[in-house]
Amino acid sequence: MFSSDVFPRCFAKIMQNSWAHVMGPAMENSPASHASSLQSFHYQVRVHLKAGVHDAPGEAVQRSLAGLGLPQIRDVRIGRVVNLTIEASSAEQGRAWAQQAAETLLANLVIERFEITEINKVTEVPA
Amino acid sequence: MSIAVVTFPGSNCDHDVAYVVTHLLHRQALRVWHTDSALPAGTRAVVLPGGFSYGDYLRAGAMAAQAPVMAAIRAAARQGMPILGICNGFQILCEAGLLPGALLPNQGLNFICEEAELHIEHADTPFTQGLQGQTLTLPIAHGQGRYYADAATLQTLTAQRQIILRYGGANPNGSVEAIAGVCNAQRNVLGLMPHPERAAERALGRSDDGLGLFNSLLQHIAHSEHIERSAS
């Protein structure tokens, strides 16, 4: 009953469903079946609190910096950076999955916004 | 009549809720694990208890909101089953989109563990029947309990009378409009930061005001069952 790997399976299921939704019927096959054509893409998801959402930790850091002799720093907003390595057949496909991950879990769109950038060059996935 | 109590990895108030259901309400507490795909037969209400599901990683309640059992809970909520989220359970319901708004880190950044006064704003939910206008004393224990909703959402919540509990006296965590608990538009899903299950028995030497919320739920379920029996 108590299993430590439940979340990865749960998330994999969400992502699998999402792949079909985002990428269409072609994505119903497991990525493993296309291993020879897959590459690793690296994306950085940066999550920020929306403007107007109070950032209590950011304010505490700002006060701390002022106490360290940096009162010039008037505003501190703290975000979150999540680096993703995604095996995909194209950068567009990889980005779509990163987008899905951000919308589904990495950001809460009630209070946060996010942006995605590809952070370095593609590497081949070993067969 | 049975009440399901859901346990996520890191839940730590599930036993307390099950104790209240079993020993104070004298009903069956059905224990549900977060990977379960269905609620047990006979479930008439669901409680998402407090704790630190998934270590509060990413955001409090974020990963629990995606757990397999949440699909069954969404379906039950749509059908009108009472769903109560306490503390982390409230955070999970917001993250799951079953309740509006979100819970941010407390204004003062302290983890707050104290008794708070709570005003019951509306009695027309399964959890607050007979409590209209009452002020309850309940413990709060949270680091991320600052309720936030944007202006448009607040307007809707007010117009639809979905703000069910507010802090009386000093606002402990900076919640917008001192909101301590909200319900959904259907009024069958309630989330609140205070812990009624920790204040349900005089033997603990403190307030037992929390029992009123559970008794209300019990009466609501009994009434629903009576209507169902009459109809069949």
pLDDT exceeds cutoff 50 at A18? no
8 Å CB contact of B148 and A11: no
Q: Which of A23-27, A101-105, B73-77, B150-154 has the lowest mean pLDDT?
A: A23-27
Reported as a pLDDT band with limits 50, 70 and 90, residue A122 is low
Alpha-carbon distance B95 to nearest alpha carbon in chain A (angstroms): 7
Asked if the C-beta of A51 comes within 8 angstroms of chain B's C-beta atoms, the answer is: no
User: Residue written as tokens 């390595």?
Assistant: A85
pLDDT in the model for residue A37: 85
Alpha-carbon distance A126 to nearest alpha carbon in chain B (angstroms): 31
The low-confidence residues of chain B, meaning pLDDT below 70, are none
**Chain B positions in Cβ-Cβ contact with residue A1 (cut-off 8 Å):** 33, 35
8 Å CB contact of B105 and A111: no
Kindly name the residue from B13, B87, B94, B183 that is annotated as catalytic. Answer: B87
Note if B87 is an active site residue: yes
Considering only the beta carbons, identify the residue of A10, A11, A111 that sits closest to B148. Answer: A111
pLDDT tens-digit readout, B172-227:
999 999 999 999 999 999 999 999 999 999 998 889 999 999 999 999 999 998 99
8 Å CB contact of A108 and B95: yes
DSSP string, A1-26: ---TTHHHHHHHHHHHHHHHHHH-GG
pLDDT exceeds cutoff 80 at A15? no
Reported as a pLDDT band with limits 50, 70 and 90, residue A121 is low
Alpha-carbon distance A36 to nearest alpha carbon in chain B (angstroms): 32
Considering only the beta carbons, identify the residue of B59, B66, B102 that sits closest to A14. Answer: B66
pLDDT, averaged across chain A: 78
- Tokens representing B134 are 């009452």
Tell me the count of A-B CB pairs closer than 8 A: 60
Note if B177 is an active site residue: no
Asked if the C-beta of A78 comes within 8 angstroms of chain B's C-beta atoms, the answer is: no
Residue B150, number of CB atoms within 10 A of its CB:
16
pLDDT exceeds cutoff 70 at A16? no
pLDDT tens-digit readout, A47-98:
999 999 999 999 999 999 999 999 999 999 999 999 999 999 999 999 999 9
Considering only the beta carbons, identify the residue of A6, A106, A111 that sits closest to B35. Answer: A6
